[in-house]
Amino acid sequence: MAEALPPVADGNKKLFPCEVCGRCFAADVLERHEPICKKLFNKKRKPFNSLKQRLQGTDIPTVSKPPQTKAQPMKKSNWRQQHEDFINAIRSAKQCTLAIREGRPLPPPSPPTINPDYIQCPYCMRRFNEMAAQRHINFCKDQSSRRVFDPAQTAAKLASRAQGKAQASPKKQPTVTSAVGSLLQSRAVEAKNEVTTSPSKSGHVQS
C-alpha cells in the first residue's frame, strides 16, 4: 500500500491520493475508486499465455496439453536373483573352458532360471512379460480352441488321405525312351555276336 500523501490542489478541486495505488482523485471519485482498486490488487492475476495471444485470430488451433499419464507403481527389483544367475553363468563358462582344455566331456548346462515377473500362459505353458502376456494369452486361447487334438480323428484323416492318393494316382510302368531302347538293342546284338564267335575260337585252339 502506498503512503498517504497530502491532498493536491487541481484548480478549484482538492485531490486526494488512493491508499492502494497512490494515484490522486477528487473526494467523490476516490470513494468509488478505492473499493474497486482494493478488489483488483487483492485478486490473483492469471499468468499471461503468450502462445494463445499470438495464435488468436489465426487458423492455427491452440495446442492442447497432452493428458498426464498416471505414474505406474514401481515394481520390486529382483537384482539378487539376477546377480546369482550371472555368477552361475560365469562358473559354468569356466567349467566348460576347463573341460575343453583337459579333453573331458562338457558338463551339463545349468537349469534355466524362471523370472518371477513373467506370467505363464495356461495353454502353451510359455512365460511372457506382462504386456506380451496380455496379447499372447488371448491369441493362444483362440488357437487352442480351433485345433482340438483327437488322435483317432487324425489317424482316420491320414488313412483317408493315403487311400485317396492311391486311387488317384495308380503306379505307372516305367517308360523307355527311344535313345535308351536303341542302346539296349545294340548291346543285345553285341552280346549275341560274342556268344556265336566264342565257340569257333575255342574249337580252333583245340585243333
Digit-coded pLDDT (tens) for 112-126: 777 777 888 888 888
CA distance linking residue 158 with residue 148, whole number of Å:
16
Cell numbers given for 35: 473499493
3-state secondary structure of 23: coil
SS (H, E, C) 38-77: HHHHHCCCCCCCHHHHHHCCCCCCCCCCCCCCCCCCCCCC
Give the pLDDT mean for 28-38. Answer: 87
Digit-coded pLDDT (tens) for 46-81: 788 888 888 877 777 655 666 677 766 666 777 788
Could you tell me if residue 165 is inside a domain? no
Could you tell me if residue 39 is inside a domain? yes
Predicted confidence at residue 1, as pLDDT, reads 44
Predicted confidence at residue 172, as pLDDT, reads 57
What are the residues facing 9 on neighbouring strands? 14
Q: What is the pTM of this model?
A: 0.29
Could you tell me if residue 49 is inside a domain? yes
Cα distances (angstroms) measured from residue 27 to each of 9, 13, 14, 19, 21:
12, 9, 8, 13, 15
Higher pLDDT, 70 or 94: 94
For the chain, the average pLDDT equals: 75
Domain count of the fold of the chain: 2
Could you tell me if residue 174 is inside a domain? no
Could you tell me if residue 110 is inside a domain? no
Could you tell me if residue 90 is inside a domain? no
For residue 169, name the pLDDT band (cuts at 50, 70, 90): low
Could you tell me if residue 100 is inside a domain? no
For 2, other C-beta atoms within 10 Å of its C-beta total 11
Q: Using the predicted structure, report yes or no on whether residue 4 has a pLDDT greater than 80.
A: no
User: pLDDT over 70 for what percent of the chain?
Assistant: 68
Could you tell me if residue 190 is inside a domain? no
Cell numbers given for 182: 536303341
Q: 43 lies in which domain range?
A: 8-55
